[in-house]
A = this chain, B = another copy of it.
Amino acid sequence: MNRERFTVIYHIVGEEALALEKAKILCLEQTVEVGDELVPDGFIRDHIIGQLAHFSLLANQRYEAQISYDIETSAFELTQLLNVIFGNSSLKAGIKVHDLHLGEGILSHFRGPRFGIAGLRKRVGIFDKPLLCTALKPMGKSPTEIAQLAYDFALGGVDIIKDDHGLSNQPFCPYEERVKACAEAVAKANEKTGKNGIYVPNITAPTTEIRQRVEYAKRQGAGGLLIAPGLTGFDTMRALAEEETVNLPLISHPAFLGSMVTSPENGFSHGVLFGQLQRLAGADASIYPNYGGRFGFLREECRSIAAHCQNKMGDYAPIFPTPGGGMRLEGVPDMLALYGNDVIFLIGGALYSRSMDLVENTRYFLSLVGRQ
């Protein structure tokens, strides 16, 4: 019987004998959850338990283990696939998911990104340069004030105008009032400019309310949806990407996911968490903190995210790396060198603070990336 398998590459910390032991235990922990002496011979031993395909030294006290799993262990569900990859072993210190080789047997069960880079470019009508995204803030402003910001940014030529991810349905800025006002403001500015800026509301919400927020956003003419899968679960994003009636680009926000990358020895690599898992769950753009900003991500980590957003992953569309988080305009040339044209620059504070004139600030930024 030839059964298909997928492979997870783990980095394991420890002396060689200990790291090897950890790798062998991973094979059991992620599947049968019993000691080797309790694994029945036959189907379970031959197929269900993880198989250590490769084990090698990476650096002092750091080893790479490649472990393959039968694709059926995933039940072809994103929740259970994540569970096989790292469910129980996330609870053990010194193990990091470094890379995933999922293969068609898994990937074909999920739709992946519905729009990807090409689809999102088509929507905003910009085909050969970086896109510009900004966030509407600060929290505490009224819907009318937020909509005024949206209007100014759209007038200046921001392609993607999104809610700050902390704007939900607060009493001081109710969701429906805000979304209606902002969608109208951006449409009005587009009429004036002839451009196709899109308003992207934050639909991160209680599981029982997400669908009505999405429907409301669509009715008002939103051009995309912002969602934080760390708060809703990755599968909630996947379901939105797969549903025909939703049919809007999804921009993923990293809120609450940080603990999965902040430790060099635990959790996930940056490329897996902000690249592969986002595509698997249907994001069209993946926001993450840029290097040199206020979050401490390294240039190399950001490069790896961009690579995992775009390199071959079955038939999945490549998606936009969307670096943000306290970026300064002076950093743009180096970012262009690193990311090339297929990037969305998420610029918040720097667009607000350069001068009082948001329209002018936006135009200045666009000129920096060779636009207009």
CB-CB under 8 A from A191, the residues of chain B are: none
* A140 CB-CB contact with B under 8 Å: yes
Choose among A137, A254, A258 the residue with the greatest number of B CB atoms under 10 Å from its CB.
A258
Contact A38 B349, beta carbon cutoff 8 Å: yes
A235 contacts partner chain B, Cβ-Cβ < 8 Å: yes
Q: Within the oligomer, what is the number of copies of this chain?
A: 2
**Contact call A166/B205, Cβ cutoff below 8 A:** no
1/0 per position for A203-220, CB-CB distance to B under 8 A? 011111100000000000
Residues of B within 8 A of A139 (CB): 31-33, 44, 48, 73
Main secondary structure of the interface of A (DSSP, over half): loop
The verdict on A92 contacting chain B, using a C-beta distance below 8 Å, is yes
- A93 close to B137 (CB less than 8 A): no
Q: Which of A167-175, A192-200, A335-343 contacts B (4 or more CB under 8 A)?
A: A167-175
Which A residues, 75 to 92, have Cβ-Cβ distances below 8 Å to chain B?
Answer: 75, 77-80, 82-84, 86-92
**Interface size class for chain A?**
35 or more
- The answer on a CB contact under 8 Å between B164 and A33 is yes
A263 interfacial contact with B, CB 8 Å:
yes
How does the 8 Å CB contact mask read for A234-256 relative to B, with 1 for contact and 0 for none? 01101100000000000000111
Contacts of A263 in B (CB 8 A): 93, 259, 262-263, 265-266
- Indicate if the CB atoms of B35 and A83 lie closer than 8 Å: no
**A352 and B259 form a contact (CB under 8 A):** no
Is the Cβ of A296 less than 8 Å from the Cβ of B92? yes
Tell me which residues across on chain B come within 8 A of A307, comparing CB atoms. none
Residues of B within 8 A of A80 (CB): 166, 168-170, 204-205, 231
Identify 18 residue pairs between A and B in the complex whose beta-carbon atoms are under 8 Å apart, listed by A's number. A31-B139, A33-B137, A33-B166, A34-B348, A38-B352, A40-B140, A43-B140, A72-B171, A75-B169, A79-B205, A79-B232, A88-B258, A92-B258, A93-B263, A206-B238, A207-B235, A207-B238, A259-B259
